[in-house]
Structure 1
Amino acid sequence: MSELQRLKGLLPPEMQSWVFVEAAASVDPPLITIEEIGRDEIEIQVDLEKWDALAIDHRNLLFWHEVGRIQNDAVPRDGWEMAALAIGLGGAIGELWVQDGLLLLMALGLSGFAGYRLYLKNNSEKRLQDAIAADERAIDLACRFGYSLPNAYKSLGGALKELVEQTRKKKKRAFYEDRLEALRKSAGKARAEMAQQQGSRQSVTSENVYG
């Protein structure tokens, strides 16, 4: 079985008909990413050369992170905002010329909405929160596919640590570090909940969920 086929098998059954897994074809692609390829169709693209160097548990959790992004509807969409911004600004300039107040307000409204959408898309805090939410989804998916909760946290934590070590760009490395810190907090909360349910902390504190 090829790695792409194996990853396809890690998709939840309800997603296998519209989510596809392919090798990345671009020059210097990211390790793994998602792209909308058609109406209601998503493609997960993997740089197999870099991917195969990772431990299999790390691969699994990073893959489920991308699946989590899809489940959370955090897929990058076509850049309609730039087109809308250009149309709105062009319309505003045109309406200034003909002095039509209502159409001017409509054009400015379109520009403002498109600009706000662009701000959200490029806002680093929102990107981080989306990634943290996808990490939580990845943990849930790992448990769904047979991982224990501590092992799911340990595998994702190990994968993020590896990405931190491999990343040279300071901003991107900080992004992974922030995700790792959020994961540690989530693991601590999960550990406390497990201890409360079992009536003893000893059964869960013996495992290091951070890798």
Structure 2
Amino acid sequence: MVGVIVLVFFLLNCTYTAKHYLAYERAELTVVSQRVGETIDPQERKQFNLFQGINDFKAAHFYGIEGGGCEIEILAAQQKFAAVNRDENTIMMLRDYIDRYEEIKESKERFEKKWEIVAYDALGFPVTKSEVNRYCHPAASWGCGIGSALFIIGCSVFAVTLLGLRTLFEPTTPAEEREQNIVLAVGTILGIATGAVVRTAIKSSDELKSIAFIKEAREPRVVE
């Protein structure tokens, strides 16, 4: 069982790659909100608290991506950056944020709850639970959880079998039957509990790795 869990952790660590995140076709220029139009300028950046991690910010444009998400083209004084966001709701979130900025600024928690925001990337854009789940591996956490449970339950069955060997040549007494039932019941309970704990631990680790992967993939890259 330990070997299976170690193997799954190894697979989880090896399957996070930015190649497919950055493989996309850029669509047309998108207006994220009528309040800013096609271009976010330095004044709007300051007004809506956007792109705070970019020095000498000049402008930003949003382009749709086939399949959902957007590419953000960022112009600075000396360089041009591109950042990709594959969350299919990112344009709607940004539009909601800008259109209701004054309201959201007073109660950011409601905005985060509405969109199920779990983290923010380097540009300050939300990372949502739905996108995190896209890059998680639920089969791995369930597999380890079930495997752990079956292992412990199997051990209890083996223990009951060993106890039963004593009765090969003698009839089983009521006390011995109770002892076997208790061992089996305790083993089953421990197995289920252990499986749940293992699944939760691996699921949490998987989600953290997924968030880290998304943040890394969204890092602005210099294009000029």
| Higher RCO (CA < 8 A, seq sep 6+) | 2
Structure ranking higher in helix proportion: 1
Structure ranking higher in strand proportion: 2
User: Which of structures 1 and 2 has the bigger CA Rg?
Assistant: 2
TM over 0.5: no
